[in-house]
A and B are shown apart, each in its own frame.
Chain A
Amino acid sequence: MSSTFAPGAKTEEDNLLVKSPEKLAELESYIDSLPLSENPDRNRGFLIQSLHKAQEIFTYLPGCVQQYVADKLKLHRSEVYGVISFYSFFTDQPVGRHKINVCTGTACFVRGANKILDEFKRYLNIKEGETTPDGKFSLGALRCVGACSLAPVVMLNDKVYGNVTTKMVPEIINDCED
């Protein structure tokens, strides 16, 4: 175990690989199932799907997980970070237990998505891309989930709320038990 434990886990919280051997095993078996050896020059092509998997398992991508993926695919850690920081889907920060995403795509925009987003910001007292101090909610904006007919649209975790009004904001928040 310790040989696969990647360096760079600076804080206790960051040290996910050590704390969750079963999660690591899941990631490992996923990456090992990829046809990596067929053409090692093309291993890099598996990076993004490996990161998707890793984020699915760990909910975010702390340094040590990035390092682990980098080592497995024989990439530099900086390249992995470069990729993670490029794609808005990936995050290296812990996320809230409930993810609220307000669609700010064009259709939702013309139907007042910004007001909805502002209301969430005000209500949760956090900015876009942040998580409430209690770790319960993260607030984000995304661009079109393809449900434009229901604009404005809010996604709470995997659930789509359509035709949202500012009034519904507290209701949506109250829908989250934990």
Chain B
Amino acid sequence: MTINSAEALKEHVAKLKSAAAPETKILVSMGTCGIAAGTTPVLEAINKYIEEKNLQNAFEVVEVGCMGLCHSEPSIEVINTVSGNSIIYGDVSEVQVQAIIDAGADEIARGTKTVERTWYYPEKEENTTNAIQAKVVLKNSGRINPEVLDDYLVNDGYGALAKALCEMKPQEVVDEIIASGLRGRGGGGFPTGKKWQFAAAQKTDEKFMICNADEGDPGAFMDRAVLEGDPHSVLEAMAIGGYAVGAHTGVIYIRAEYPLAIKRLRIAIEQAEKAGLLGKNIFGSGFDFNIELKYGAGAFVCGEETALIHSIEGMRGEPTFKPPFPAVQGLWKKPTIVNNVETYANIGAIIRKGANWFKTIGTAGSPGTKVFALAGKINKVGLVEVPMGTKLKDMIYTLGDGIVDGKKFKAVQTGGPSGGCITASMIETEIDYESLKALGSMMGSGGMIVMDEDDCMVNVAKFFLEFTLDESCGKCTPCRIGNKRLFEMLEEICDGRGTMETLDKLKSLSMTIKDTALCGLGQTSPNPVLSTIKNFEDEYLAHINEQRCPAGVCTSLISYQINDKCVGCTLCARNCPVNCISGEKKQLHEIDQSKCIKCGVCFQACKFHAIDKI
């Protein structure tokens, strides 16, 4: 099948829509987390049962990408396509499969856990429910089979590309994106339309569209979800961008740690080429566009656009100074657009529905939605997509269902290693680019790591710096040596060797590193330090002045001791990995402090609260 004109696309979609389909659909979440959590056997069980009962005509099983319900994987959704009823089941096990299928979409199967739907689709419907989430970027993810092109086509797929190529001039596309106010979702928040305008204005023989799918920020997995759940949306947007700026080659730079996303992208590219949706003369418009995949190799800094370009060029991923900006001189010294996956995933909807529609979502300065990955000490870990301006509180308490084990919320780290922490007192903040910046953090890619009272913020800062140290390219002095020194100072404080002078030096060196580093990595690496000092100075002071770690994390500052509640059950001694607990049965036990590695196993094992963490 080749689709060589806009009409052909319409006809094809009409045909797909009118084709007979089974009444009930079962969507099975087959993203990386889903698979890791065990959806594969569930899927097999479903298929087996349907086959056994000969229900092929009544049920269609669709392997979908991420539904965002990491907390309840394996999860499946049962939908009645006629009535529109749908039920989402979480923590599904193979044994529940029969009951679920038997119950169909109109009745909840017994002995299962259902999950409430918290989202709506602004492109399709009004926000009738009180759902907090609005799915623009993730509109197809979790709803279609990412490996089936027709599934995408029937959901308006490639309609935006057809519209752009056949009804709009390149400049009109650029103007529409400018008007939408779309800002880069890769972290910086730079207006996408403006960037396209720069590249469009360059007069050269060759330009490139790059999709930044490096997603190196640990704890962030929204790009992965898009690529696994809806790969064609990115391809379509890259082609639209190529048309707008005059590029004919697209490159997707994807981290090698995402094998499933790579596989699905490969399939998607092949399908699109076969269908004539990529390649020469797309939709008969005379516009050619091809997309290649390039792989990362484990370097966070390669998410930085100049480093990424060097990496594609086969070099060490070291950033270079800007200007020149990639839009003027990028890949192979040609004008190059680098946009993030999620940024691209917005483009189709903007072209289809228009800039004005897009601006109805989100805030004035930051229109649209943002996908966040909720992780850490939160009950409902997962992906959420909310309009910009949504309150942090709603995300953590409503969507995230609060803190694990009912502990006290302490802080949430946004922006990953480049960001900062937001504390309980700021929980009313309406999240967008500006508000986060004002709090000394940043949007970053959208990872949100929630921390509770058991987390030591000095140790958290040290963790982030360790990450930066590992991932620094080593090119410039402030980041290569400065961050090492910061890390060493944090180590001193965590070990109880820090002084007030250390704290002063920590602050002033942090400021200088921000002021002097060559690339975004170094310019933001002290953020976690500065923001924890600002918000949790008392914790630093406790480490320094009292040699005490209030959260009981820093091992040099804590010890485990057995108190007289000990009944001599020997459990702790049997569990201690270094065998440093001695004591006769039914006698008070004792820990040999010189051997104890402070792993805390005994503390957790003791059922009699006989071990104190001091």
Contacts and interface: CB of A to CB of B under 8 A. Distances in A.
Nearest to B312: A45
Contacts of A148: 70, 218-219, 221, 373, 375, 381
Contact of B218 (A118, A143, A166): A143
Contacts, number: 148
Contact of A146 (B221, B298, B464): B221
Contacts of B37: 149-150, 162
Nearest to B70: A149
Nearest to A49: B295
B73 to A, nearest CB: 7
Contacts of A106: 218-219, 375-376, 413, 416-417, 447, 449, 463-464, 467
Contacts of A47: 314
A82 B316 contact: yes
B172 interface: no
Interface in B397-443: 413, 416-417
A50 B590 CA distance: 58
Interface in B281-331: 294-300, 311-317
Interface string B105-122: 000000000000000000
A176 interface: no
B99 interface: no
B311 A48 contact: yes
Interface of B: 32-33, 36-37, 70-71, 73, 215-221, 224, 256-258, 294-300, 311-317, 332, 373, 375-377, 381-382, 413, 416-417, 447, 449-451, 455, 460, 463-464, 467, 470-471, 473, 577-578, 597, 599-601
Given A105-B219, A149-B381, A166-B577, A111 B376 contact: yes
Given A144-B221, A148-B219, A150-B36, A52 B377 contact: no
A144 B218 CA distance: 5
A120 B24 CA distance: 47
Nearest to B466: A104
Contacts of A43: 314
Nearest to B416: A106
Contact of B449 (A44, A49, A73, A110): A110
A57 interface: no
29 contacts: A43-B314, A45-B312, A46-B314, A48-B295, A48-B311, A51-B297, A52-B295, A83-B314, A86-B317, A88-B297, A105-B219, A106-B219, A106-B413, A107-B219, A107-B381, A107-B449, A109-B218, A110-B449, A110-B451, A110-B455, A143-B218, A144-B221, A144-B257, A145-B32, A146-B258, A149-B375, A150-B36, A153-B36, A160-B32
Contacts of A104: 218
A143 B216 contact: yes
A87 B297 contact: yes
A142 B314 contact: no
A149 B219 contact: no
Nearest to B316: A86
A149 B471 CA distance: 23
Contacts of B224: 146
Contacts of B257: 142, 144-146
A87 B297 CA distance: 5
B375 A107 contact: yes
A158 B277 CA distance: 34
Most buried by A among B218, B315, B447, B601: B218
Contacts of B33: 146-147, 149-150
A151 interface: yes
Interface residues of A, number: 46
Interface of A: 42-49, 51-52, 73, 75, 79, 82-83, 86-90, 104-111, 115, 118-119, 122, 142-151, 153, 160, 162, 166
B413 A49 contact: no
Most buried by A among B219, B221, B298, B447: B219
A144 B221 CA distance: 9
Contacts of B455: 110
Nearest to A79: B315
Given A87-B297, A146-B221, A162-B36, 11 more contacts: A44-B313, A45-B332, A48-B297, A86-B473, A88-B298, A104-B218, A108-B218, A109-B463, A144-B221, A150-B33, A166-B577
Contact of A87 (B218, B298, B450, B577): B298
A48 B317 CA distance: 11
A48 to B, nearest CB: 6
Contacts of B216: 143
A111 B449 CA distance: 11
A45 B208 CA distance: 14
B294 A49 contact: yes
A175 B104 CA distance: 39
Contacts of B70: 148-150
Nearest to B311: A48
A118 B471 CA distance: 21
Most buried by A among B215, B450, B455, B601: B601
A45 B313 contact: yes
B300 A111 contact: no
A166 B576 CA distance: 11
Nearest to B464: A106
Nearest to A107: B375
A89 B256 contact: yes
Most buried by B among A82, A109, A153: A109
B297 A52 contact: yes
Contacts of B450: 110
A111 B377 contact: yes
A149 B71 contact: yes
Nearest to B72: A149
Nearest to A160: B36
Contacts of B300: 143
Nearest to A84: B297
B256 A52 contact: yes
A111 B311 CA distance: 32
Contact of B294 (A48, A90, A142, A151): A48
Contacts of B416: 106
A115 B258 contact: no
A87 B447 contact: no
Contacts of A52: 256, 295, 297
Contacts of A46: 314
Contacts of B463: 106, 109
